Amino acid sequence: MEQVAEGLGLTINQVQNAKLYHDGIQTGERRAKLQLIPTLLKLGVTVEQVAEAFSFSVEEVRQVTQSQP
């Protein structure tokens, strides 16, 4: 990351505070949560509990389970 910051003439702080950086982090966090849903449900966690824990709607959690093979 330091090389990217230097190449752009920015400090590390400026890069970390950039919108794209934060968007990327949020996208990665969301993907990780979505990948965990089937496992949690198999372990007996309810759809409602998963939705609450991950700040998703119940419908979002159900959509993930329906899209699984």
The size of the chain, in residues, is: 69
The predicted-structure confidence for 8-65, as pLDDT tens digits, reads as follows 787 877 877 787 888 999 999 999 999 999 999 999 999 999 999 999 999 999 999 8
Query: In the chain, how many domains are there?
Result: 1
What range defines the domain where residue 29 resides? 2-67
Count of Cβ atoms closer than 10 Å to residue 61 Cβ = 24
Give this prediction's pTM.
Answer: 0.68
CA angle at residue 24 from 51 to 16, to 5 degrees?
A: 120
